[in-house]
Amino acid sequence: MIIEKGEAGNGMKNIEERVATLEVAVENMTNDILEIKSEIKEIRKDIKELDKKIDEKITQLDKKIDEKITQLDRKIDEKTDKLGRKIDKINDRIDKLADNINSSNKWFIATVITAIVGIIGILIALFKMGI
């Protein structure tokens, strides 16, 4: 096949057009890649900001939880103290009742002994009198 001078010129023109088209395509792709890189940087920045906000929220929630636990501990301590005081009062009352019962028993026993001694004394007196 013999290529004439005019036909060869057209072939070069087609190659140059294709090269130019490829250069434009490469430039467009390069621009797209740069845009994507820029978007990735922004996304990373947004992720860092979100991480920071999440950490702040977690810290706030931890503080609130600690405050609630402290409040509950105080309430438990108050309730325990009140219950302890009530138990102490009940124990004091039981001790007083026991003391009263012991005192009453002592008085009762003393009264019975006195009565028995009195009866024995009367019986001795009556016996001495001959009755």
Tokens in use for 33?
Answer: 């890649």
3-state helix, strand, coil in the chain (%, to 5): 95, 0, 5
The CA distance from 25 to 15, in Å, is: 15
Tokens encoding 110:
């003393």
* Model-wide pTM > 0.75: no
pLDDT tens-place string over residues 85-130: 888 888 888 888 777 777 777 777 778 888 888 888 888 888 777 7
Split at pLDDT 50, 70, 90, the class of 3 is very low
Sign of CA dihedral 106, 112, 115, 117: negative
State both tokens at 75: 């309430």
Domain boundaries, the chain: 1-95
Extract the tokens encoding 71.
Answer: 């409040």
